[in-house]
Amino acid sequence: MTTPPPDAFRVHHAEIGDIRIAYLREGTGGFPLLLLHGYPETKRIWWRNVRPLAEAGFEVIVPDLRGFGDSDLARDDRYDVAAHARDAHALVHDVLGHAQCATVSGDLGGVVAQDLGFRFPGFVRWQCIFNTVLPFLAQDYAAAGIPDARERGIGPEADYFMRQATDADGLAAELDTPARRRAYIADFYGHRFWAAPRTFSRDDVDFMTEPFADGAKLRASFANYEYATGNRVAPEMVHLFEKNPLPTLLLYGPEDHVVPRDFVARAEVAFTERIGPLVVPGAGHFLQWERADVLNQALKHFLHGMR
């Protein structure tokens, strides 16, 4: 699939509290479609989706989460899920004036989207979620015959997770040049096998890693892992401990070596009003880039009434 050039879209900025959030906005006037990136990503991971979705009749809104890409670092050093969700709501609702939206998300963005739907009732009408952390429903999963995720243990593919969560400062100190920082992030698009083989060219990887050359931005991105393990304490609880009742399209990229295959079985339990999970061949963790053709068409048709 052809990728638009790096300067294809205008970057806007919004002052939200004491932080400036960068975002794309294409297709003004259509139903708002909020695309939320994860780690190690920025708004650039949606480059293959913005134009097709805007041409399909949506107002496509793509922010950089606080601390990522062209958005500011947080003055209070807060990067928890609730903070990201509040930023997203303020951008779409308060700044851009939309009472409702639909969301599309994976990885960290998927957790933010789930929280957003609960934290602001009625704001999210519909969501598409893929390859992310699912609600923590141990009893429900056990009742469905799904083994406890803890039984799998932590495999060697999760070494990055533990290092970023428990020794973020030490890791950041080792990655002491822009080249080293970019090479570290490039691994996630390459030999860590998060993506299907050959779905990111060298130029693609350069495009994705450029924002992480900034040492402060890279360090801020590690905070999300610190919260996940309790090495940072979030001031607000994340809404991830109950079944999700929102109308949801669930997709899964099976080439992912970080989100396990039981994502499909767990998603069937966790989302009560769902389509799928649909397995997308040739896609892994970065499904919106790897199989942009599938995602764009799915959203175009499943959200037909909203357009």
What are the boundaries of each domain within the chain?
Answer: 11-155+236-306
CATH class of the 11-155+236-306 domain in this structure:
alpha beta
Looking up tokens 């998060």 gives 194
Which is nearest to 45 in space by CA: 119, 131, 127? Answer: 131
CA atoms of 149 and 133, how far apart (whole Å): 12
DSSP string, 91-117: IIIIIS--S-EEEEEEHHHHHHHHHHH
- Closest by CA position to 221, among listed 180, 161, 147: 161
Buried b (16+ CB within 10 A) or exposed e, 143-173: eeebeeeeeeeeeeeeebeeebbeebeebbe
Mean pLDDT of the chain: 95
pLDDT single digits (tens) 112-157: 999 999 999 999 999 999 999 999 999 999 999 998 876 555 566 7
pLDDT, tens digit, 9 for 90 and up, residues 209-262: 999 999 999 999 999 999 999 999 999 999 999 999 999 999 999 999 999 999
Q: Are 32 and 61 in contact (CB under 8 A)?
A: yes
For the chain, what is the radius of gyration of the CA atoms?
18
Question: CA angle, corner 160, sides to 87 and 78, nearest 5?
Answer: 25
Residue 57 burial (CB < 10 Å; 0-12/13-18/19+)? middle
- Whether the predicted pLDDT of 13 surpasses 70: yes
Identify whether the C-beta of residue 26 lies closer than 8 Å to the C-beta of residue 57. no
**Alpha carbon distances (Å) from 57 to 99, 121, 188:** 18, 25, 33
| pLDDT at residue 307 is higher than 70 | no
Between 203 and 159, residue with greater pLDDT: 203
> What pLDDT sits at residue 304?
78
Residue 64 CA to residue 68 CA, distance in Å, equals 6
Average pLDDT over residues 44-63: 97
| pLDDT tops 80 at residue 306 | no
